[in-house]
Amino acid sequence: MGQDLPFFLNLTRKQLYRRLHALARPLEELPDKLVDRHRSAIDDSDTLPDINGSAQICGTDGSSIYWNRSLLEKTAASSPDTKKSEALLLHQIIHCLFGHPFSSVYSCHPGSFRLACDISAWYIAGVWIPELLPDGMADSLKQLASCLPDISLYHAGELAAALEREKVPSFPELSILTEQFSFDSHELWPILHSAASAPKLSPKAGGEGKGSGGVSGPVHGNNRDSAKSRWKKLQNQLTIKGAPLSPEKNPAQAGGSMGSISRRGHRALTLTDTRRHDYRSLLKSLACWGEEMKLNSSDFQYAPYLYGLEHLDGIPLMEPLEYEETARIRELCIVIDTSASCSGSLTQAFLEETRNLILENDLFFHPFNLHILQCDLAVERDDKLTSMDDLEHYIETLEIHGMGGTDFCPAFEHIKKLQACGEFTDLPAILFFTDGAGIYPSESPGVRTIFLFLRRHYDNIDVPPWAETLVLDEPAEDIVTERKLL
């Protein structure tokens, strides 16, 4: 099973992403690393820490997630459906998104703080994806919430202070809470490597459970600050985009209850698995074969191989190729209908979904040539993007230009000009995101054209026979929704 662990972890990530698409960027920020009891590292790094001192299956330092090889093998064998590993991965992401590894613990004992972080992370996980909670966790959270009616389980700092001062007879012992909620190692947390903020752990605070762990060594302040700022920036970006990662400060004050969190945001484009498969298949069909500068360990240079056979007593010299033949998208044009009948928030949601599919399937060459046109009665804007950073920035700073009528002809004319001047040399397709109501060209542009519509929000009566169509799912309502944990 050991040799299949990378595949198992990759499957874990894909399954977690399918449960909550807003986790695309956090997953990218926290790569997996396997750690062995006898060796410091299993992968290409020889400086990974050892987290095998106790029964802790994983831990994070804010830059990677480290998996205990032997315990992960047992988990994979006992739960081949990846739910347990998904829950642990989600737990680590929540720790980082909410700054737990970087938060100050001056006001309370580190043991209490780490336990509070675990409880808070599981609470948030239960709000986002309740089916991933370990058995009995929901009941434990409910019991804890009943003992702390005035404390939000969402805030680790408040909860840590309550854990230290609580004297209610029905309140569980800290060692019991640690056993219930702590499954991961915190010994790699940057904040706990500071002597000023990490006094020695006493048996009374936090216990000897699975989530406690010693400090293995110092972490440079610059690295800690860099990781902290990256996750803070990411949390802010996801909040701005309306992702379900920014609950109310106090759910009870917001009209909910302990165990319910409001999720606010712009109208989100929600694709079912079938629709996502259709759109993913469409994007994959636009790929072309080409060489990419990448070390290709599955092939080798023939010249040094033959030279060794002839001149070095039959010793072959194996040198991997520095390029790889792969099928990806090199050029693409996306046209956004910015007429008054189309929503800017839906446009942003569509681009986010496109971005997520590109990242998930590594669909583009690097660099690529992507033009995003905004068009109503005329081409209002043409943005050229060549990297995922460009696309991310475009989505974050999206401004809609137009809001007039709808005429698709100017967009096709503009694309023909781009082809004529050599900007597009092998354009595989043009994607139109629109409601379908507008003026279409009478003749085919000579390039595969696909109109992307929203279900029950489109008019395809006038779509010409040379054009293809793909109907996406209905957008979610622009209202506050709630998911109940308890």
Give the pLDDT confidence of 180-232 residue by residue, as tens digits: 888 888 888 877 655 344 333 333 333 333 333 333 333 445 566 688 888 88
Nearest to 468 by CA among 281, 271, 328, 270: 281
Q: Is residue 317 in a domain?
A: no
Asked whether residue 453 falls in the same domain as residue 368, the answer is yes
Pair 346, 337: CB distance under 8 Å: no
Asked whether residue 258 falls in the same domain as residue 373, the answer is no
Task: Please name every residue paired with 364 in a beta bridge, in sequence order, or none if there are none.
Answer: 329
Asked whether residue 40 falls in the same domain as residue 114, the answer is yes
Asked whether residue 111 falls in the same domain as residue 27, the answer is yes
Asked whether residue 50 falls in the same domain as residue 128, the answer is yes
Asked whether residue 292 falls in the same domain as residue 252, the answer is no
CA distances from residue 481 to 261, 349, 410, 421 in whole angstroms, order as listed: 9, 17, 40, 49
- Host domain of residue 172: 2-263
CA angle at 182 for the pair 188 and 20, rounded to the nearest 5°: 85
Q: Is the pTM of this model over 0.85?
A: no
Asked whether residue 146 falls in the same domain as residue 44, the answer is yes
Asked whether residue 214 falls in the same domain as residue 288, the answer is no
pLDDT digits (tens, 9 = 90+) for 166-180: 544 455 677 788 888
Q: Which residues of 160-172 are buried (b: 16+ CB within 10 A; e: fewer)?
A: bbbbbeeeeeebb
Nearest to 118 by CA among 205, 184, 166: 184
Pair 119, 142: CB distance under 8 Å: no
Please tell me the distance from the alpha carbon of residue 9 to that of residue 31, in angstroms, as a whole number.
10
End residue of a domain, out of 220, 242, 263: 263
Task: Please name every residue paired with 453 in a beta bridge, in sequence order, or none if there are none.
Answer: 471
End residue of a domain, out of 219, 241, 263: 263
At 453 the pLDDT is 83
Question: Which tokens is 295 given?
Answer: 């070390």
Question: Which tokens is 262 given?
Answer: 């409001």
**pLDDT < 70: residue spans in the chain:** 1-3, 37-55, 104-107, 149-152, 166-172, 192-225, 236-277, 290-309, 314, 316-325, 340-344, 455-461, 473-486
Asked whether residue 231 falls in the same domain as residue 332, the answer is no
Task: Return the HEC string of 302-337.
Answer: HHHHHHHHHHCCCCCCCCEEEEEEEEEEEEEEEEEE
Asked whether residue 380 falls in the same domain as residue 464, the answer is yes
At 206 the pLDDT is 35
Q: Is residue 74 in a domain?
A: yes
Q: Is residue 307 in a domain?
A: no
Q: Is residue 391 in a domain?
A: yes
Asked whether residue 13 falls in the same domain as residue 99, the answer is yes
Provide the number of structural domains found in the chain.
Answer: 2
Asked whether residue 227 falls in the same domain as residue 358, the answer is no
Residue type (1 letter), 21: H
At 346 the pLDDT is 77
End residue of a domain, out of 211, 243, 263: 263
Q: Is residue 304 in a domain?
A: no
Q: Is residue 314 in a domain?
A: no
Largest Cα span, the chain = 84
Q: Is residue 417 in a domain?
A: yes
Nearest to 241 by CA among 339, 158, 352: 352
Q: Is residue 311 in a domain?
A: no
Domain CATH number, residue 409: 3.40.50.410
